[in-house]
């Protein structure tokens, strides 16, 4: 079978955060993947074997985190692959999802405190700031998603670990 | 303004929630093997701590204090934290499903993070008003995130070093953490909480 090329055209220019995923469906020219690295000890490449990794999320939650990859990559259901996102995607995502609402909460709270000189107005201002921040975050996230900044990309096939492999987490 | 600045320095550096108050140590050791996971965990925790502190301030001020229910504080705060985590999960999923792929995995870990409960209990102890509580919670969690990312960077470098076998893994991690805590002691005396 043809080995699919990496779908990361600018992979050389950016460091990548890599993760393991398994192909769970191929529908309409799209490949659906389920991420494997789900636990706090995400650095171990044998995470698929580890009981911590398996118990971290229920099947329902894992199913909710499935994501598609566009294009014909020649992958089959059950295959284990390595996917990646650019290292600045996480920072951009965190700043958008959490940073923007936190800033508007603070701005709204301070504005409420200055205008109303009381806790009730400060709380009202902060919660209004939260709502505004979430709306702004959604707009920014849609913009980033449309540009494909946040989407994981296929990098390469991963080998299944042997059945007698052990999980080693004793890295410095 | 100076008051808030001192509050921020005090919460983030002088009384750092991890290295000075020794809260949130499980995530400090468990999620700091890579900078990107530490960053994701830090950002998620910052958001959850701030949201839960805002709600907990209201719960304490308008429910627990007036009805003399202080003995229910810990239970009530844990409930609020769990709800705040669920709220955050729903929000991130709604804001962007692709962002949820990146950041969603850290959220279940926050529910059991004692730093979140610790910061909320410290707010009650400090008898702060709403905006002070929010600023203190935000600064405390930013201090937590700062330490997480610093420590993750050090551990990434340590992974490339020739560490004696007896010290490899968690032992050298704990030694590094203690040195980092000693470094943070240098901030003592800049401001008092």
ipTM of the prediction = 0.84
Task: Indicate whether this model's pTM tops 0.95.
Answer: no
pLDDT of residue B105: 67
Closest CA to B86 of B113, B52, B120: B52
* CB pairs A-B closer than 8 Å: 139
Test B96 with A142 for CB contact under 8 angstroms.
yes
Examine the pLDDT at A132 and tell me if it is beyond 90: yes
CA distance B105 to chain A (A): 6
Contacting residues of B for A113, CB less than 8 Å apart: 130-131
Scanning every residue of chain B, which has its alpha carbon at the shortest distance from the alpha carbon of A53?
A: B105
How does DSSP classify residue B105? G
Contacts with A, B 71-90, CB within 8 Å: none
Question: What would the pLDDT profile of B95-107 be if each residue is shown by its tens digit?
Answer: 777 677 766 667 7
Examine the pLDDT at A9 and tell me if it is beyond 90: no
Measured in whole angstroms, the distance separating CA B164 from the mean position of its chain's CA atoms is 32
Of B54, B101, B161, the CB nearest to A152: B101
Examine the pLDDT at A111 and tell me if it is beyond 70: yes
Test A89 with B102 for CB contact under 8 angstroms.
yes
Test B99 with A90 for CB contact under 8 angstroms.
no
Residue A59 belongs to what H/E stretch? helix A59-64
Per-residue burial over A1-34, b = 16 or more CB atoms within 10 Å of its CB, e = otherwise: eeebeebbeeeeeeebbbbbbbbeebeeeebbbb
pLDDT of residue A126: 93
**Token pair of B130, please?**
């709403």
Closest CA to B54 of A48, A115, A58, A131: A131
CA distance B64 to chain A (A): 17
Please list the alpha-helical segments (H only) found in chain B: 2-9, 25-30, 35-59, 73-95, 97-103, 107-110, 114-126, 130-158, 170-184
Test B47 with A106 for CB contact under 8 angstroms.
no
């Amino acid at each position: 079978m043809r080995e699919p090329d990496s779908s990361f055209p600018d992979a050389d220019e950016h460091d990548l955060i890599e993760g393991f995923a398994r192909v769970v469906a191929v529908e309409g020219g799209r490949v659906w993947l389920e991420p494997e690295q789900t636990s706090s000890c995400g650095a171990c490449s044998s995470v698929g074997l580890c009981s911590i990794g398996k118990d971290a999320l229920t099947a329902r939650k894992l199913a909710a985190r499935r994501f598609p990859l566009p294009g014909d990559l020649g992958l089959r259901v059950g295959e284990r692959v390595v996917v990646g996102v650019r290292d600045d995607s996480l920072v951009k995502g965190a700043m958008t999802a959490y940073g923007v609402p936190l800033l508007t909460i603070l701005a709204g709270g301070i504005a409420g405190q200055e205008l109303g000189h009381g806790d009730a107005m400060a709380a009202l201002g902060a919660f209004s700031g939260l709502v505004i921040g979430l709306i702004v975050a959604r707009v920014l996230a849609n913009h980033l998603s449309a540009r494909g900044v946040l989407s994981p990309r296929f990098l390469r096939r991963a080998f299944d670990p042997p059945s007698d492999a052990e999980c080693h987490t004793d890295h410095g | 303004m100076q008051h808030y600045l001192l509050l921020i320095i005090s919460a983030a550096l002088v009384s750092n929630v991890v290295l000075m108050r020794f809260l949130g140590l499980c995530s400090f050791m468990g999620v700091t093997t890579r900078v990107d996971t530490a960053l994701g965990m830090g950002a998620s925790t910052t958001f959850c701590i701030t949201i839960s502190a805002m709600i907990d301030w209201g719960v304490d001020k308008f429910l627990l204090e007036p009805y003399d229910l202080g003995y229910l504080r810990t239970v009530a705060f844990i409930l609020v934290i769990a709800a705040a985590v669920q709220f955050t999960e729903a929000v991130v999923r709604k804001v962007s499903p692709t962002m949820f792929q990146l950041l969603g995995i850290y959220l279940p870990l926050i529910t059991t993070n004692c730093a979140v409960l610790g910061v909320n209990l410290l707010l009650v102890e400090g008898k702060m008003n709403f905006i002070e509580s929010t600023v203190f919670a935000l600064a405390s969690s930013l201090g937590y995130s700062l330490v997480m990312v610093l420590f993750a960077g050090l551990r990434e470098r340590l992974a490339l070093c020739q560490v004696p076998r007896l010290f490899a893994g968690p032992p050298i991690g704990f030694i590094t953490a203690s040195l980092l805590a000693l470094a943070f002691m240098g901030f003592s005396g800049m401001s008092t909480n």
